[in-house]
Structure 1
């Protein structure tokens, strides 16, 4: 295993997917390396944008799943993650969309 910390989230991104003819590492080699080292893997292209956003979303989903399952605790010092300051958070809505507010239970 590549990482000494079992709860760390690492994604291996094979960039320059758009230059398939110039590749030095095959998809299979990279995929096998990622699997052997318990890494997520995506091929991306910064030029075309292919899978770039997906890499961030996949990583964030994995972190959230680990928080929800109890594997990661943002409250624990040294966990590598923390909750942001709630007073600084803002919900961003795409332009032209109507914001729907959810009522929170203060039980």
Structure 2
């Protein structure tokens, strides 16, 4: 899997989640999160990721997958998460928009769609 700027495709992200139990963090606003997010994702505001990452991903060797609407916020947040000592930080290329375009499942208010 690639690190850094490139980001992961929806298929690569799915493998990371399924095979490695990656922690999925959605950086979008709560209203966007409620409208549709990746299964197993936890919502953490982008501006709070530095302060909250340790609560969401307790083991620093666990892969972390950052998700936003289009990939931009995730790139910035990835630097903060790496600075906090996480060894494997990934970004979903194209964000939730690309995930949905690829036909991947999203969860809306607790119901898989």
| TM-score (normalizing by structure 1) | 0.26
Would you tell me which structure has more helix in proportion to its own residues? 2
Larger Rg: 1
Q: Which has the higher strand share?
A: 2
